Amino acid sequence: MNHTEHDHDLIAGYASGHEADRVQAEALLASCPDCAVDYREQLSVKGVLGTLPAARLTEAEAAALTQVVMSQMPAPMMGSVVDIGTARAQKPLSPIWGRMTAVAALLAGVVLVGTVITSGGGGSTAATTGALESQLAERSTDALTATTAANAATTAAASEAAGAATTFASDTAGDADSIDAVAAEAERMMFQLNNEDSSQTTAAATTLAYSDACPELAELEILASADASLNDRPVVILIVESDSGPLAQAFYTDDCTEIDLTPND
Amino acid sequence: MTAGSDDAVLLERVVGGDHDAFSTLMRRHQDRVFSVCLRVMSNRSAALDATQETFLTVYRKASQYRATAAVGTWIYRIAVNTCYDLLRKERRRPSEPMPDYLDPADPNAGDRFDSVELAPSIAAALASLSPEFRAVVVLSDIEGYALPELAELLELPLGTVKSRLFRARKQLASQLGNLLGGTEHPS
């Protein structure tokens, strides 16, 4: 008898003691010597793994865990929506993140104005971008100069958003500051996501846009995205869903390497 | 009252802001969460981080729990997904963490291997599996989850769990080689 994927499932199930597989598996093993070998091998591995003792926390580790977790617990969460603001509050912002958040909040206001222009005014993207550019030129800090901005997370026009770019000029900021600028943009997206629903169509467009070059992106559940550039390289900033809550990530899209957004203290 | 319904009551109190209830729930599950995290992460320090992150997520998402699965199953699902997230981040970093079996001996550690010769080989073989295969085999063959429960925990079809389990054991068999010969087969 030939092995098939189905047979393997049956053998694994029977070796695990899955009662529903017993009759069929016994018939298979009686007629297929190779299957019987596989079965014995499965049992052997299961047996060896069973010799590993269960891991336990030491008393000191358990005490430390309790202390750390309880100290990071915010006010109780009510309702059924993940509150990003509260989640973020569990980890105090470092000074640089605090500073960048202030800059980001300023930019968020500017970008929201741009969004209104885009969706309500009927003007072209270029015109909107130009308007934003001039506002940003007046308001941006030395560390962060945005030459073009797009609110990719919330725009109604997903295709436009996927093609729009947020560029951080590297000539006015060193590498670290530029990464800080990307981090600030990510923080702004988080902020915005916390205050209004993100566009899944934008996320889908992002996944599609980079799925060839960056197949890893296809595995992520993207809540919001924005295109950018850093050091003359294309970058995508993402807010992705994770079991630890929404998570900000950024990647160079030319080689898919992740940009470390961890703040420098 | 069963342990499961007891957990559900505790979780309800957690949603209402009862920190003592959360502390009780955590004490009840922390060893098993840590055990799962240690076997999946292959590194004690990373497992501690994953355990901590798991319980913070449990607290944060307590109000989202729906009684379609036992509280324990829900918690271990969060633990496994937290491990996946941390491993994914780790994979993108240049340096690999030191495997747990190479960590300096901690005389107070509660999970010292009974057989110092055998266990490192098993741990190394486990560490060579992909996180998805490792999680299945750890939960099934070390933590003792029945397959339907495991499928629910991992939110995978039963057939996928069996298929991963078969392939994971197959890979382990080739890694462990002769070690398998001396093992007593379970009935």
Residues of A in contact with B149 (CB under 8 A): none
Cα distance from A4 to chain B (closest Cα, Å)?
A: 11
CA distances in angstroms from A126 to A120, A129, A131, A166, B53, listed in the order given: 15, 5, 9, 13, 44
Rounded to whole angstroms, the Cα distance separating A250 from A56 reads 36
A125 Cβ contact partners less than 8 Å away, ≥ 6 residues apart: A118, A160, A164
Q: Is residue A168 part of a domain?
A: yes
What is the number of other CB atoms lying within 10 angstroms of the CB of residue A169? 15
**In terms of C-beta distances under 8 Å and separation of at least 24 residues, what long-range contacts does B159-164 make, across chains too?**
B159/A9, B161/B136, B162/A8, B162/A9, B162/A10, B162/A12, B162/A13, B162/A16, B162/A18, B163/A5, B163/A8, B163/A9, B163/A12, B164/B132, B164/B133, B164/B136
pLDDT for A191 equals 67
Cα distance from B1 to chain A (closest Cα, Å)?
A: 26
Give yes or no: residues A40 and A100 share one domain: no
Task: State whether ipTM is beyond 0.90.
Answer: no
Residue from B19, B59, B134, B145 to probe the interface with A (highest A Cβ count within 10 Å): B59
- Residue type for B21, please? A
- Unique residue bearing structure tokens 């299945």: B136
Per-residue pLDDT of chain B (187 residues; tens, 9 = 90+): 556 669 999 999 999 889 999 999 999 999 999 999 999 998 899 999 999 999 999 999 999 888 888 999 999 999 999 999 999 887 766 555 445 544 444 444 444 444 344 477 888 899 899 999 999 999 999 999 999 999 999 999 999 999 999 999 999 999 888 677 644 444 3
pLDDT for B2 equals 58
Cα distance from A46 to chain B (closest Cα, Å)?
A: 5
Give yes or no: residues A148 and A96 share one domain: yes
Interface touch A48/B179, C-beta < 8 Å? yes
**What are A85's two structure tokens?**
């603001």
First to last CA, chain A: 64
Rounded to whole angstroms, the Cα distance separating B18 from A38 reads 51
Count of the separate structural domains present in chain A: 2
Q: Does the domain at residues B3-180 carry the CATH identifier 3.40.50.300?
A: no
pLDDT for A222 equals 75
Give yes or no: residues A23 and A93 share one domain: no
Closest to A32 in 3D by CA, of A8, A63, A56, A52: A8
Residue of chain A minimizing CA distance to B13 = A76
- pLDDT-flagged residues of chain A (< 50): 1, 76-176, 196-202, 265
Q: With the C-alpha atoms ordered A265, A263, A86, A76, is the resulting torsion angle positive or negative?
A: negative
Interface touch B110/A58, C-beta < 8 Å? yes
Q: What letter would DSSP give residue B142?
A: I
Task: Parse chain B into domains and list their residue ranges.
Answer: 3-180
Residues of A in contact with B184 (CB under 8 A): 47
Residues composing chain B: 187
Interface touch A68/B183, C-beta < 8 Å? no
Task: Collapse the DSSP code of A141 into the 3-class scheme (helix H, G, I; strand E, B; otherwise coil) and give the result.
Answer: coil
pLDDT for B177 equals 81
Give yes or no: residues A37 and A161 share one domain: no
Least CB–CB distance from A45: residue in B23, B106, B176: B176
**What are A204's two structure tokens?**
């889908």
Residues of B in contact with A244 (CB under 8 A): 53, 56-57, 82, 85
Per-residue pLDDT reduced to its tens digit, A63-76: 999 988 988 876 54
Cα distance from B104 to chain A (closest Cα, Å)?
A: 15
Per-residue pLDDT reduced to its tens digit, A203-226: 555 555 666 667 777 777 777 777
Q: Is residue A58 part of a domain?
A: no
- Residue type for B98, please? M
Least CB–CB distance from B52: residue in A47, A69, A258: A69
**What are B10's two structure tokens?**
């505790």
Q: Is residue A78 part of a domain?
A: no
- E strand residue ranges, B16-144: none
Closest to B170 in 3D by CA, of A102, A44, A208, A180: A44
B4 Cβ contact partners less than 8 Å away, ≥ 6 residues apart: B70, B71, B72
pLDDT for B43 equals 87
Residues of A in contact with B64 (CB under 8 A): 80, 82
Give yes or no: residues A38 and A97 share one domain: no
Q: Is residue A54 part of a domain?
A: no
Q: Pinpoint the alpha helices (H) of chain A.
A: 5-15, 22-31, 33-49, 59-72, 84-89, 95-120, 125-139, 158-163, 175-195, 200-210, 215-218
pLDDT for A108 equals 46
Residue of chain B minimizing CA distance to A74 = B60
Interface touch B31/A57, C-beta < 8 Å? yes
Q: Is residue A243 part of a domain?
A: yes
pLDDT for B104 equals 40
Interface touch B162/A76, C-beta < 8 Å? no
Per-residue pLDDT reduced to its tens digit, A138-168: 333 332 223 223 333 333 333 333 333 333 3
- Unique residue bearing structure tokens 């307590």: B62
Structural domain harbouring A32: 5-49
Residues of B in contact with A48 (CB under 8 A): 118, 122, 172, 176, 179-180, 183
pLDDT for A212 equals 62
Least CB–CB distance from B56: residue in A10, A69, A75: A69
Tell me the count of A-B CB pairs closer than 8 A.
192
Least CB–CB distance from B19: residue in A12, A70, A82: A70
Residue of chain A minimizing CA distance to B107 = A58
Q: CA angle, A198 as apex, A103 and A132 as ends, to 5°?
A: 40
CA distances in angstroms from A217 to A121, A213, A220, listed in the order given: 33, 9, 5
Per-residue pLDDT reduced to its tens digit, B86-122: 998 877 665 554 455 444 444 444 444 443 444 778 8
Q: Is residue A67 part of a domain?
A: no
Least CB–CB distance from B183: residue in A10, A48, A68: A48
Averaged pLDDT score across all residues of chain B? 83
**What are B22's two structure tokens?**
């959360």
